[in-house]
Chain A
Amino acid sequence: MRSNRREFLKIAGVSALTLLVPAVLPPVRAAGNPSAPVAAARQASSPLQPLTAGRWALAVDLSKCSADCTDCTTACHQVHNVPALGNPGHEVKWIWREPFPAVFPGETHAWTGESLRRMRPPVLCNHCANPPCVRVCPTGATFQRPDGIVMMDYHRCIGCKICLAACPYGARSINFRDPRPFVQKLNPDYPTRTKGVIEKCNFCEERLARGLEPACVEACRQKALVFGDVEDPRSEIRLLLEKRVALRRRASLGTLPQVYYLL
């Protein structure tokens, strides 16, 4: 705690500048994200068509996902300039791992086997079809696209944090301080954030626009992550959901999570 405060003072100068800039900028909402111009530019030069869907969803094949692998987190956090703050209370997380009993408290019992207990499923924003975070946001900074992706407009977020209270999955983070000095390897194709705003997984909408799958899916060597359109009956994800038993986190809350965990 104490050393943090000292670091704070060090970066105070930079912070003071970043404070004014976002307040002055008009809220950008072109395709809902400040990265949109970048994505659009890429699209023009990219031979690939943007990927589209009725409703995007992610399936995690727990039988293939090994507990000690960090490929998805590393890839995601790198492309999206997620800062590594080191302080667990201030951490920004897009996709990370949690022990099975924490992810599925309702599905764990006294005799749950060791193999299940040892699992550490990746968790991320579920891009709920009925997202409480969108409902509560007083500025529309959190909003949902027709294809189901729950998006953040960093320029419109006032940092009221009611969405953190509303998300029943702990999927959102707020920048408790200026994240920029903590971005390890800057990806110039994706924006960095400012202090005081919320962020979370965006299903790599900027990559979809360029015809690419989400970074985590691409990075997974076990092919444990399957991304696709659940409204398309011929998609791989639909075939998997038809064949396998799938869990969703706290499905009883009615938020309709779109991340499915295959057993």
Chain B
Amino acid sequence: MRPYTDQSGPAASPSSGDAVPAPDRRATAAVERPQAGDRRRAWRSRRYRWDTKYSPYAFVAPFFVFFAAFGVFPLLYTGWSSLHRVSLSAPNDMEWVGLHNYTRLLEDEFFWNALRNTFTIGVLSTVPQLLMALGIAHLLNYRLRASGFFRVAILTPYATSVAAATLVFVLLFGRDYGMINWVLDAVGLGKVDWQSGTLSSQVAVSTIVIWRWTGYNALIYLAAMQAVPNDLYESAALDGATRWQQFLHVTIPSLRPTILFTVVVSTIGATQLFGEPLLFGGAGGQKGGASHQFQTLGLYLYEQGWFNFHLGRASAIAWSMFLILLIVAGVHLLVARRLRKSQ
């Protein structure tokens, strides 16, 4: 006990030096304390209070500084520019137009086309992707040899870059020398001009998305599946449920919140789809094909802002996308509440 009390006294004093031997320190401290000590102690405790109160803010401040600089400011500035006519060749030269950029979007057929494409590509990619992810997760949930290997293997597409993956798919989907057309031709189905058709190009873009994201979702499902208590399966098995029935009546209901989560994340991803269609389009890919057949909202924004240099219109598109995502989030909230009630 003694050594501790001995040390804590002088060590708290700011003037203490470790080089001074302990007995001397005690002596000098005892002389000074009665006069200046109280004030100093009050100051010290105030500083201590400030420290506990404000230090955490200092620790997290860098995040907020960067968030303000690179998150909030661009968001607000984009909103501000969306109310102006402004060109990239003179971005400081803004002309106030009010809501003009938004109202013109309502009658802009390129915008509606992009919105429609975003939706259809979103459905074409998200639905098969999540279904396949569920199936793969279910398979991986079984006891199997080298399961660790398979779990890593299904995640590798996610780890490749969009650019690399898309460039490979561009070659696969090539009209004249693509491998897919070569196979189709060999079995007598004839070649498909993947990029020119509306449905074919959207299927091709969706394939890239599916290939990249299925493994990622499968791992999320797998993690959720492993949290399902084993007794549920045991009692279901005792009741004579087959594997398939177990999957339908035990796994799926327990996974409902996880499924909802992946649906929301995939929807957000689909709304922002950009890299895959851009690179799939090759040279001049921002147009998304000759008749914009696979131009998504992201591509249209990019085309307006960085090719036609209409920053105001591009900002309006960006804010419209933001509003669409807010609506998606709202729907998610409603569905989630419904689910909770039904449980």
Indicate, yes or no, whether A interacts with B: no
